[in-house]
Copies of this chain bind each other. A is one copy, B any other.
Amino acid sequence: MKRHSRQRDAVRNALCSVKSHPTASAVYDMVRAEFPNISLATVYRNLSEMYDEGNAVMLTTVSGSVHFDADTSPHSHLYCNKCGGVTDVYPDLPDLRKAAEDKGYEVTNYSLMYSGVCENCRK
């Protein structure tokens, strides 16, 4: 049975209240304002929990950093190689590159990774 905890609520609220696609340690910093003693492990535990429940998306940047997003609706992301920031883009695939450029990004690269289960593994 799942129980309540102030720390869990704080982590969830922190992620839900923000559009910035924070990393785990960015969430840690947000939550520490209210809970100076919270542990980074607790933040990780609760973020993974949200992910497991399907209430958060985990995105791995081209540079390898992992960000969290409470917006689970299908959309894509723009990553800045310089500041490391992540921004949303909503249009459908064919229009995506244009949408990125409309957002002022100088698009130098992209990485598209479909995932699922391959033919072999489905057997």
Residues of A near any B CB (own CB < 8 A) = 59-62, 64, 66, 76-83, 85, 87, 89, 93-94, 96-97, 100, 103-122
Contacts and interface: CB of A to CB of B under 8 A. Distances in A.
B77 A106 contact: no
This chain: how many copies in the complex? 2
12 contacts: A59-B113, A61-B115, A77-B112, A78-B115, A78-B118, A79-B115, A83-B118, A104-B122, A107-B115, A107-B116, A109-B115, A111-B113
B97 A112 contact: no
Given A62-B113, A111-B113, A113-B76, A118 B104 contact: yes
A114 B105 contact: yes
